[in-house]
Amino acid sequence: MSTTPSFTSMNASDLAEILFTSPLQESDRPSAEQVRAAIHVRFGACGGDSAACAAVVAQEAGDHPESFLARMRWALTTVYAAYPDLTTAA
């Protein structure tokens, strides 16, 4: 039995938090494929635990409050483009 969660069970906000913690940047202009791959890799790096990724987001918000909002907005917009069938709430 696999313990890897399905990304289809996550909402856009969950995936945006994971993307936020990835090395992708808005200036990279990543394709939808690159976004999905980055989310997959980063989620694996968090041990498949979305709470671990959320902790990184919280740390970044505290360390870099001046850029947090813009990066999170980019992450959410980018997730919507890469996963057009997602909703914001579970």
pLDDT at residue 3, rounded to an integer? 44
Q: Is 49 left (phi over 0), alpha (psi -120 to 50) or beta?
A: beta
Which residues, given as ranges, of the chain have pLDDT below 70? 1-8, 87-90
Question: Residue 40 in contact with residue 8, Cβ under 8 Å?
Answer: no
* CA atoms lying within 13 Å on the CB side of residue 26: 12
- Whole-prediction pTM: 0.81
pLDDT at residue 4, rounded to an integer? 45
